Chain A
Amino acid sequence: MIENILAPSVFATCLRLSTPYLFAGIGEMFGQRSGMLNLGVEGVMLMGAFFAHYVVLNTGSLLLGVIAALVVGLVMGVAIAFVNVTLKAEQGISGIGVYLFGLGMSELLFKTLVGTPRSVSGFPPLHIPVLSDIEFLGIGQIFFQHNLLVYVAFALVPISAYVLRRTPLGLMIRAVGQTPEAADAMGINVARVRYMTVIFGAMMAGLAGASLSIALLNVFQQNLTSGLGFIAIALVYFGRWRPVGVMSGALLFSFVNALQLQISAIGIDVPSEFAVMAPYVITIIALVFASKQTEKPTALTKPFDRGE
């Protein structure tokens, strides 16, 4: 029984399912480290997912699909940054606006341009030579037979940890998120740094959407993401604003998801509603335990006013 539930395929699925969480979560983390809460991740993901899918459907080019998702993220990121940084809008509310926009807009475009769900041939699994053949504990199957975006998502973790901790750019981002006044006095352009992080975060959200529509599911339909983007935001809190923390959270969540798929696949009778509910309940509990939040960027959600 337990061998069936914890088969290597479950772990492989777990890694695959964590891709959208990783892209969206790491992107969101950069924004939050600079003091910007982007609640519109879900909306950007939906738009990214749609455009990536639509472009692949029409051109067959996966590269163009990824570029489309990044461009959508870029455009929406500029808009979000303008609203939240320049116009100093209340971030919790403007994000809901972005979400509703993405939800409605992606459905509108889907219904007018595509109509019914159609699948595309997305990113194929990439078998890493030699390593993918390791039979021991199913290591080959678990780690080395994924599509390209899975590897990119996991590569993002050490890279972003390095950028945050060891580069002047990372120092600037953290300074702007902790004490924008001091950063400003040091000659750092607070607004510019926040524009950068918000736009990067939105581009990653777009990519997260693409990872669903042209790599994991290879299909688009209305509300494809169904709350994934919101969980990604919670993962940033859960992971205490650290790349490795976000990754741990992403793995935990996708493991629950993978387990749920496996449990229903081998026919154990748990009402599916409770399985779907589980990640959200876990998130709430995790937020309670993560609530000491000593690592939380002090200036999170606080607009910076130079007092001119």
Chain B
Amino acid sequence: MPSSNLRAFIDRLIDGLLPLLSLVAALAVASVLLIALNADVGQAYSALIEGAFGTQNAFAETLVKSIPVLFVAIGICVAFRANVINIGGEGQMIAGALAGTTATLALAGSPGWLIIIASLVAGFLAGALYGGLAGFLKAQFNVNEILSTIMLNQVAVQMMNFLLNGPLLDPSEQGLNHIPKTARIVAEAQLPRLVIGLPDGTALFDRTRLHYGLVIAILLAAAIYVLLWRTPIGYRIRAVGYNERASRYAGISVRRQMILSMFLAGGCAGLAGVVQVLGLQYRLQTDGSPGGFTANAGFNGIVAALFGGLNPIGAIPASILFGGLLVGAQNMQRDLGVPASLITAINGIVVVFVVSSQILIKWRGRRRLQQSTSRTEVAVENAVVAEQQV
């Protein structure tokens, strides 16, 4: 039946477009804010888009900003799929950056590839253990993971401030008014810049700050996608998220999936932290505030993951979009004097709209069921819906 195929396609298209509608709605709310702030809306948005995607360098900066967001978002997909609400991206990112930077500094003198791999592994493990701790507390002691990860974020920030002001402080930075930062990592340990040679001899992203972290992030997204949808491990994680009780009856260890999903989510966020050091900053540095190192990537990753439909592949364009918003907002601030914090507010509205729009998907699913007439169709569709959701 081609007509029902077409309808199914259109239905799926609308479901897929819902996040985009949420963004449009959020930007509409932001327009009202801009008008209230006496800013020219058209000018503001053109400054935003121009600043994010207008030039090659702007687009490179957008990609640079999207890298940590993407790493975190990939991890959030795993955790949220297991119905574990990981708000700890910030802390896990810091844990990864601390361990990764320490490894990089300790291995100075070794071959570059060795330092990079060891640092990435250290960063992944540190983030994974930090995330896994929250997973363990949830599995073992029934501690609400939302609360524990939020608390662990604050603990990580203070731990970083302590280490960067003391044990890890750059030896050349002394005195009372030092900047909390580590020594610079050796050149061999720095991730190379990503320059794409084009057939006509010119190079894309030449002399920009874009680095190989983007490639690592995209490979990770593909790997996590395969893990979630093509392996028994991923199946179990998603099964627990879809129906905890049924999974338990099916013999799946719910506790193990909780810990594992938090371990993986934390690991991805940990990579975000270490890649930020190896690829961009070449040292771990903060200003002492909670977002001093992470620039809120731990939270923005949640936004991007939701926006990408909790699918690691979908998280790629979503992260680039939100990276673009962040970069564009700086341009808007320069040109029009509208504070860039507008974007934090917009991100919040997007999150609220995306989670609110889930009900539309549910309603539409229900209506579709009612519309199908014969019993068998209902049964088949039930099975399909169940399978899609797992």
A residues at B contact (CB < 8 Å):
39, 43, 83, 87-90, 92-94, 96-105, 107-108, 111-112, 222-223, 226-227, 230, 233-234, 237, 271, 273-274, 276-277, 280-281, 283-284, 287-288, 291-293
A237's contact among B137, B147, B158, B306, by CB below 8 Å, is which? B147
Cα separation A97 to B162 with both chains bound (whole Å): 30
Minimum distance in angstroms from B242 CB to a CB of chain A: 14
Residue pair A103, B148 in contact (C-beta under 8 Å): no
Q: List residues of chain B with CB within 8 A of the CB of A105.
A: 33, 341, 344-345, 348
Can you list 23 pairs linking A and B with CB atoms under 8 Å apart? Answer: A92-B146, A93-B306, A94-B355, A97-B349, A97-B352, A97-B355, A100-B351, A101-B349, A103-B344, A105-B348, A108-B33, A111-B341, A226-B290, A271-B162, A271-B166, A273-B162, A283-B151, A284-B152, A287-B141, A287-B148, A288-B143, A292-B142, A293-B142
Residue pair B347, A100 in contact (C-beta under 8 Å): yes
Residue pair A104, B161 in contact (C-beta under 8 Å): no
Q: Which residue of B lies closest to A37 (CB)?
A: B146
Residue pair B290, A284 in contact (C-beta under 8 Å): no
Which of B142, B165, B166, B341 is packed against the most chain A CB atoms within 10 Å? B341
CB within 8 Å of A: which B257-311 residues: 289-290, 299, 302-303, 306
Q: Which residue of A lies closest to B345 (CB)?
A: A104
Q: List residues of chain B with CB within 8 A of the CB of A43.
A: 348
Q: List residues of chain B with CB within 8 A of the CB of A108.
A: 33, 37, 338-339, 341-342, 345
Does B179 make an interface contact (CB < 8 A)?
no
Cα separation A83 to B348 with both chains bound (whole Å): 13
What is the number of residues of chain B that contact chain A, defined by CB distance less than 8 Å? 47
Cα separation A124 to B33 with both chains bound (whole Å): 35
Cα separation A290 to B14 with both chains bound (whole Å): 44
Q: List residues of chain A with CB within 8 A of the CB of B151.
A: 230, 234, 280-281, 283-284, 287
Which of A83, A280, A281, A293 is packed against the most chain B CB atoms within 10 Å? A280
Cα separation A283 to B166 with both chains bound (whole Å): 26
Cα separation A24 to B250 with both chains bound (whole Å): 42
Residue pair A89, B348 in contact (C-beta under 8 Å): no
Cα separation A97 to B348 with both chains bound (whole Å): 4
Q: List residues of chain A with CB within 8 A of the CB of B146.
A: 39, 92
Residue pair A288, B137 in contact (C-beta under 8 Å): yes
Residue pair A96, B302 in contact (C-beta under 8 Å): yes
Q: A87-B359, A237-B147, A284-B137 are in contact. Are A93 and B152 (CB under 8 A)?
A: no
Q: List residues of chain B with CB within 8 A of the CB of A277.
A: 154-155, 158-159
A234's contact among B87, B147, B306, B356, by CB below 8 Å, is which? B147
Does B382 make an interface contact (CB < 8 A)?
no
10 A-B pairs with the lowest CB-CB distances in the bound complex, closest first: A104-B344, A101-B348, A97-B351, A100-B348, A104-B345, A97-B352, A273-B162, A107-B341, A277-B158, A92-B85
Chain B window 303-322, contacts with chain A (Cβ cutoff 8 Å), 1 for yes, 0 for no? 10010000000000000000
Q: List residues of chain A with CB within 8 A of the CB of B358.
A: 89-90
Does B343 make an interface contact (CB < 8 A)?
yes
Q: List residues of chain A with CB within 8 A of the CB of B143.
A: 284, 287-288, 291
Q: A92-B85, A94-B355 are in contact. Are A104 and B341 (CB under 8 A)?
A: yes
Minimum distance in angstroms from B143 CB to a CB of chain A: 5
Residue pair B339, A112 in contact (C-beta under 8 Å): yes
Which of A284, A287, A293 is packed against the most chain B CB atoms within 10 Å? A284
CB within 8 Å of A: which B56-95 residues: 85, 87
Q: List residues of chain B with CB within 8 A of the CB of A90.
A: 85, 355, 358
Cα separation A92 to B352 with both chains bound (whole Å): 11
Q: List residues of chain A with CB within 8 A of the CB of B85.
A: 90, 92-93
Minimum distance in angstroms from A91 CB to a CB of chain B: 9
Cα separation A271 to B164 with both chains bound (whole Å): 12
Residue pair A283, B147 in contact (C-beta under 8 Å): yes
Q: List residues of chain B with CB within 8 A of the CB of A284.
A: 137, 143, 148, 151-152, 155
A102's contact among B144, B338, B348, B355, by CB below 8 Å, is which? B348
Q: List residues of chain B with CB within 8 A of the CB of A107.
A: 339, 341, 344
Does B150 make an interface contact (CB < 8 A)?
yes
Cα separation A284 to B142 with both chains bound (whole Å): 12
A83's contact among B144, B303, B347, B355, by CB below 8 Å, is which? B355
Q: List residues of chain A with CB within 8 A of the CB of B33.
A: 105, 108
Q: Which residue of A lies closest to B154 (CB)?
A: A280
Does B169 make an interface contact (CB < 8 A)?
no
Q: List residues of chain A with CB within 8 A of the CB of B150.
A: 227, 230
Q: List residues of chain B with CB within 8 A of the CB of A283.
A: 147, 151
Q: List residues of chain A with CB within 8 A of the CB of B359.
A: 87-89
Does B346 make an interface contact (CB < 8 A)?
yes
Minimum distance in angstroms from A38 CB to a CB of chain B: 12
Q: List residues of chain B with CB within 8 A of the CB of A103.
A: 341, 344-345, 348
Starting from the known contacts A89-B352, A103-B348, A104-B341, 12 additional A-B residue pairs (CB-CB under 8 Å) come to: A89-B355, A100-B345, A101-B348, A105-B348, A107-B339, A108-B341, A108-B342, A230-B150, A287-B137, A287-B147, A288-B141, A293-B142
Minimum distance in angstroms from B259 CB to a CB of chain A: 15
Minimum distance in angstroms from A104 CB to a CB of chain B: 3
Does B350 make an interface contact (CB < 8 A)?
yes
Q: List residues of chain B with CB within 8 A of the CB of A234.
A: 147, 151
Cα separation A292 to B158 with both chains bound (whole Å): 29
Q: Which residue of B lies closest to A227 (CB)?
A: B154
Cα separation A93 to B85 with both chains bound (whole Å): 8
Q: List residues of chain B with CB within 8 A of the CB of A99.
A: 348
Which of A87, A93, A105, A271 is packed against the most chain B CB atoms within 10 Å? A93
Minimum distance in angstroms from A133 CB to a CB of chain B: 40
Minimum distance in angstroms from B150 CB to a CB of chain A: 5
Minimum distance in angstroms from B23 CB to a CB of chain A: 13
Cα separation A104 to B340 with both chains bound (whole Å): 9
Cα separation A287 to B152 with both chains bound (whole Å): 13
Minimum distance in angstroms from A288 CB to a CB of chain B: 5
